[in-house]
Amino acid sequence: MRQPLVAGNWKMNGSREGIFELLKGIREGVKDLAGVDIAVCPPYIYIPEVQGQLHGSPVSWGGQDLSLQQQGAYTGEVSGSMLLDFGCKYVIVGHSERRSYHAESDQQVAEKYQSALDVGLVPILCIGETLEQREQNATEDVVARQLDTVIARCGIAALKNGVIAYEPVWAIGTGKTATPEQAQQVHGFIRGMIAQHDSAVAEKIQILYGGSMKPSNAAELISKPDIDGGLIGGAALKAADFLDICKAASFQA
């Protein structure tokens, strides 16, 4: 049985003061929870603060991205080993906002996935289709291409130590959620694809859903057999909402 993971992607939100309150709420609330992995991914600059506040709690933390490079003259970049230096367990790679606003290609995302593994971080690989692609019935082709590029570059065994997040672009920040059936259909497809290479890896890997997941829809989504938790944007910015989603996941464990 896979233990669910609920990870908050704070994106470029928060302030020093706001984050202090948010973390305080999360730290208190998780005391009553079991059977669920929990993580938050703050903007880089807040990671030391998060480490200070979450150290010793069951909540992990991670980066929202990492550099393709290890170190050197790359202004503005942050490497995987730097994230590790501040206690990160996870790093998100290939979020659709990176793919679209920073033109990250499938190949670059695959390189980042490998860089994360190389330093011992757990990559959370985001894949998903746009509305236009869904309307053209290209959803499976798109997620297959995104995933295949990682498998070709890193090998199937590389998925043993990673997490996948299916994030339909049309559901991100829009309030529109994929129905549990729509999401399950794609999650099942992704797991089936991995199983064609290695059934043990397919059975083990956590596949999260992301895209307007909130307390009111989390339980139903996570009850689906191939949905192993969520990557949460907006609803991860309020402790009560984030904790309610964690609770919904913990009941399914």
Q: Which residues are annotated as catalytic?
A: 95, 167
Identify which of residues 88 and 213 has a Cβ nearer to ligand 13P in the complex.
213
CA separation for the pair 107, 7 (Å, rounded): 25
Alpha-carbon distance values, 22 to 18, 27, 59, 227, 242 (Å):
6, 9, 13, 26, 10
CB of 182 to ligand 13P, least distance (A): 15
* Residue in this structure with the two tokens 């948010």, named with its chain if needed: 22
Identify which of residues 75 and 101 has a Cβ nearer to ligand 13P in the complex.
101
CB of 128 to ligand 13P, least distance (A): 9
Identify which of residues 154 and 171 has a Cβ nearer to ligand 13P in the complex.
171
CB of 237 to ligand 13P, least distance (A): 9
Alpha-carbon distance values, 113 to 12, 163, 204 (Å):
21, 10, 18
Identify which of residues 80 and 168 has a Cβ nearer to ligand 13P in the complex.
168
CA separation for the pair 15, 201 (Å, rounded): 39
Residue 224 and residue 187 in contact, taking contact as beta carbons nearer than 8 Å:
yes
Please identify the residue of the shown chain whose CB is closest to the bound ligand 13P: 233
Which residues are at the interface with ligand 13P (CB under 6 A)? 9, 95, 167, 172-173, 210-213, 231-235
Alpha-carbon distance values, 190 to 129, 145, 176 (Å):
13, 11, 22
CB of 188 to ligand 13P, least distance (A): 21
- Token digits of residue 120: 């011992």
Amino acid identity for residue 32 in this structure? D
